[in-house]
Chain A
Amino acid sequence: RKEVEQDPGPFNVPEGATVAFNCTYSNSASQSFFWYRQDCRKEPKLLMSVYSSGNEDGRFTAQLNRASQYISLLIRDSKLSDSATYLCVVNTNAGKSTFGDGTTLTVKP
């Protein structure tokens, strides 16, 4: 079993739709959690950190459920520019950053 698992998709949605991505992790000692975005095999870039209380950044909302070892990302009112691969990342206390394989999103006009 992989340490970090994501639904690979692809997710194909129309503009304006709401889409949610899920991620599970196996190491219960994991300390911090992130969502990164990757465009067309360019380098991944941080989208947002994920906090236990949940956090929101504009149209993006991230949630963490430590008991279920589950992370989610919700995108509201999706834009064409949201088309990308979204990577779930989990850090251990030792600082090791493990990436999921990513979920591909295509937003269509």
Chain B
Amino acid sequence: DARVTQTPRHKVTEMGQEVTMRCQPILGHNTVFWYRQTMMQGLELLAYFRNRAPLDDSGMPKDRFSAEMPDATLATLKIQPSEPRDSAVYFCASGPGQVREKLFFGSGTQLSVL
């Protein structure tokens, strides 16, 4: 089965360090989403791309977060510098780009910033 692959699965880092999370969308999917989930909140949309172009990153703190798609097989989410409040599970999802189509999620990256 085709699946969305996220790395790393777990990341523990110290405050102030750079964190890079990677996502390989399903081949042929042209939309990619980054979501953040904490215990206190649901799935918060950080950014999404269509055909590698960012369509909406209004949910992302611009001063420390950045999201890119260097090519169609890789999406990255970077945090620099990281802070303890960034601790969360970060999910990547991809979709075929049709409004009525479902999203496929990766297993997420569990980030802990100490």
**Chain B contacts to A: CB under 8 angstroms:** 31, 33, 35, 37, 41-43, 45, 48, 50, 55-56, 89, 91, 93, 95, 97-100, 102-103, 105-108
Contact = CB atoms under 8 A, between A and B. Distances in A.
Report, as a range, how many residues of chain A touch the other chain: 20 to 34
A32 to B, nearest CB: 5
Main secondary structure of the interface of B (DSSP, over half): strand
A49 B102 contact: yes
A95 B43 contact: no
Main secondary structure of the interface of A (DSSP, over half): loop
A46 B102 contact: yes
Interface string A10-37: 0000000000000000000001101000
Of listed A34, A43, A87, A99, residue having the most chain B CB within 10 A: A43
Contacts of B45: 96-99
7 contacts: A31-B99, A31-B100, A42-B108, A43-B107, A49-B100, A95-B55, A97-B33
Contact of A91 (B41, B50, B99, B107): B99
Contact of A101 (B41, B89, B108): B41
A84 to B, nearest CB: 14
